[in-house]
Structure 1
Amino acid sequence: MDSTRARLELERQETLRRLADLTGSFDAVVAASRDTNADDEHDPEGATIAFERSQVGAFVRQAEQHLQEIDIAIERLHAGTYGTCERCREPIGEGRLEARPVARTCIRCAASNRR
Structure 2
Amino acid sequence: MFELMVETSFSAAHRLKVGNKKCENLHGHNWKVQLFLSANELNKAGIVLDFKEAKRRLKKVAEPLDHSYLNELPFFKKIGPTSENIAGYLYQKLKVLFAKNKKIKINKVTVWESEGSTASYFS
- What is the TM-score normalised by the length of structure 1? 0.27
Relative CO higher for 1 or 2, CA cutoff 8 Å, sep ≥ 6?
Answer: 2
Q: Which has the higher helix share?
A: 1
Q: Which has the higher strand share?
A: 2
Bigger radius of gyration, 1 or 2? 1
